[in-house]
Structure 1
Amino acid sequence: MKNWIRENPFCLEKSEVSFLWALRLKGLDFLPEFESRVKGKGLIAKEWVDQSKILQHDGVKGFLSHCGWNSVTESISAGVPILAMPFMAEQYLNARFVAEEIGVGLRILSRGGSVRGYVAAEEVEMKARELMGGGKVAEEVSKRVAEWGGAAHDAMKEGGSSWLTLDLLIEDVMEKSTD
């Protein structure tokens, strides 16, 4: 990811969408100049941020994510559409799920349309505009993530399916620990 950031930071700037970019990488020489150019449009956080709280803010309309499962569930639960840009492991499967199976986001593809490989800055720029632009695709993705977010919220509230399943797990563990 570090190499991608060094080579492609300007896709966010060129997309002309407002953004918060959380980075914890050192030695990114381009940042001071980049920050001055995107002032008023982009904000760069260089320390830890509470991703879940940020996603729940009303001003957040999209999330560029590597598609780790925690990030996916936090975004869906907050009702925020996802720009899926996986880097490794199960993230590719999660990105496919997000974009192709449940339709709560858009998939950023590598050059040549493959699922792995080099991601061009122009692809990120185009997909960010598509998701944030308010067109038909953005409306459909927003509608789908609202549906799934509502279902996720219902599952996690007291008496919901996740709540009940956790209760069953706790009961099972308690029974096994007394045996």
Structure 2
Amino acid sequence: MWVVKPKQLQFIGPGFKERVKGRGIVVTEWVDQMEILKHEIVCGFLSHCGWNSMLESMCAGVAVLAMPLMAEQHLNARIVVEEIGMGLRLWPRGRVARGVVGAEEVAKMVVELMEGEGGKRVRKRVKEVGESAYGAMKEGGSSSTMLDSLIDHVCGARMHSMA
């Protein structure tokens, strides 16, 4: 599944939708990314590395093909690939930080993610990370507890300022 904005269709080339018919789908309307990532058939996620997408990948236990485009996405990609170890990096031609990622690089890295040793390593790691992230978010987990604490603190401060 490839989710693109309607105005981005021009960048995937003429006839792409027809060429993938029966093996894939191009979607141009809004989708619930988390629901897609949680689907049992999803094994990898080509992402620009916005932090929300990275958190959703972690929670869903889905490995990332990191293709950052701008702003903090480059830092997020580095964290996800080099620090957390739950993804592989797609590099533009010439391995510069910003530039065009060629189709050959995407094809090579998709195969690596699905069948290669690097892919096996990151899929194992993302399952571990996913279990930890899910545990932190569920009721009684560290993230849930801290959010409850923050809400209590803010509401308590608000009540004191109203008195």
Common fold, TM-score beyond 0.5? yes
Alignment-derived partner of residue 86 in structure 1: 68
Alignment counterpart, residue 28 of structure 2, candidates 28, 34, 46:
46
Tell whether 2:66 aligns with 1:74: no
Alignment-derived partner of residue 99 in structure 2: 117
Shift of 1:31: 6.0
Shift of 1:116: 1.8
Shift of 1:36: 1.6
Q: In the aligned structure 2, how far is the partner of 1:127 from the partner of 1:148? A: 21
What whole-Å deviation, never above 9, does each CA across 1:45-91 have from its counterpart, x for those lacking one? Answer: 11111111000000000000000001000011000000000111110
Q: Choose between structure 1 and 2 for higher RCO, CA contacts under 8 A separated by at least 6 residues.
A: 1
What whole-Å deviation, never above 9, does each CA across 1:151-175 have from its counterpart, x for those lacking one? Answer: 0000001100001100110111012
In structure 2, list runs of 5 or more residues that go unmatched: none
- How many residues are treated as equivalent by the alignment? 159
> Could you tell me which amino acid in structure 1 is paired with residue 44 of structure 2?
G
> Could you tell me which amino acid in structure 1 is paired with residue 53 of structure 2?
S
Q: In the aligned structure 1, how far is the partner of 2:110 from the partner of 2:66? A: 10
TM-score (ref. length: structure 1): 0.84
Deviant stretches of 4+, over 6 Å: none
Shift of 1:37: 1.4
Find the residue that maps to 2:2 and give its secondary structure: strand
Q: In the aligned structure 2, how far is the partner of 1:27 from the partner of 1:138? A: 28
Percent identical across equivalent pairs?
55
Find the residue that maps to 1:64 and give its secondary structure: strand
In structure 1, list runs of 5 or more residues that go unmatched: 1-19
Alignment counterpart, residue 90 of structure 2, candidates 99, 102, 108:
108
TM-score (ref. length: structure 2): 0.92
Alignment-derived partner of residue 11 in structure 1: none
